[in-house]
Amino acid sequence: MSAIAAGEAAPAVDFTNAVSLALELDFTRAQPTHFGAPLATSERFQVGSFEGEVALGASCNCRRVTLVPHCNGTHTESASHLTIAQRPLHEFLPAGPVSALLLTVHPTDAMTSGEDSLPLPQPGDRLITRAGLLAAWAPHAAIAPRALLLRTGTDWDDSEPPYLSRQLMQELVTRGIEHLVIDLPSVDRLADEGRLTAHRTFFGLPAGSTELAEAARANATISELAHFPGRLRDGPCAVQIQIPAWSGDAVPSRPLYLPLAAT
């Protein structure tokens, strides 16, 4: 998959005013951790007499970092998150900016939303709904972006965060959204019996399938645990998702919000 889809011109963006949507991972302060994962750690690398820390007399600092990308910060994943076969993200994630739309959709009580997921929501659950998405998108009806930046206003340390209804995810597929960036730790309920309904809907992967070849949208990506500064207004923009050239089903990432250049 090329950086620019066939027939699509690169969006004209203002790189000088780019805004990072990644959470800062400071190993010495409070940090995200979900699904029972330990905190990410950074420790000096020691080998022989080398201490890996200038403060201890070493010639340079050298750290060993341990983390779980899905749980310890902003990360990007693909259908490989759910399949036996793996395909590194850097092989197909666009390297350049893609057209995007930033929308704010706040959670609503799942029991009164009229929408659902599988397994069915429980009392106390909160959903990000298709109805909320359509209301937020209405002022931008003429916009048909490749990426959606979805701000829910959820704090990264929320122990029972909201999740996306299956109706919302199907709407994103219908609208041709290829890349979703969201501030939730998961688009699905944290404890969902392993169904991963929202993930599977977005990636076009049938329920129960672990075959990457069966994913109808294997080039789609989801970036979770993003951070949206309050100064960013809803509306059209572009996004560039920066990732390391790592293998694995998810990698730490730095989505960049790019305002459109003045014309």
User: Exposure of 46 by Cβ count < 10 A (0-12 exposed, 13-18 middle, 19+ buried)?
Assistant: middle
Instruction: Please report which confidence band the pLDDT of residue 6 belongs to, taking 50, 70 and 90 as the band edges.
Output: very low
Question: Pick from 255, 238, 256: which is nearest to 12 by CA?
Answer: 238
- Give long-range contacts, CB 8 A cutoff, 24+ apart: 239-243: 239/21, 239/97, 239/98, 239/100, 239/147, 239/149, 239/179, 239/181, 240/18, 240/94, 240/95, 240/96, 240/97, 240/98, 241/76, 241/93, 241/94, 241/179, 241/181, 243/76, 243/89, 243/90, 243/93
Tell me how far apart the alpha carbons of residues 125 and 127 are, in angstroms, rounded to a whole number. Answer: 7
Instruction: Please report which confidence band the pLDDT of residue 263 belongs to, taking 50, 70 and 90 as the band edges.
Output: low
Mean of per-residue pLDDT scores for the chain: 94
**Beta pairing, strands 98-104 & 235-242:** antiparallel
- Is residue 7 scored above 70 in pLDDT? no
**Which residue shows structure tokens 């699509």?**
8
109 bridge partner residues: 126
Query: Model's pTM, two decimal places?
Result: 0.93
Tell me how far apart the alpha carbons of residues 51 and 85 are, in angstroms, rounded to a whole number. Answer: 39
Tell me how far apart the alpha carbons of residues 228 and 233 are, in angstroms, rounded to a whole number. Answer: 10
Structure tokens at 184: 């939730």
pLDDT digits (tens, 9 = 90+) for 199-213: 999 999 999 999 999
End-to-end CA distance of the chain: 28
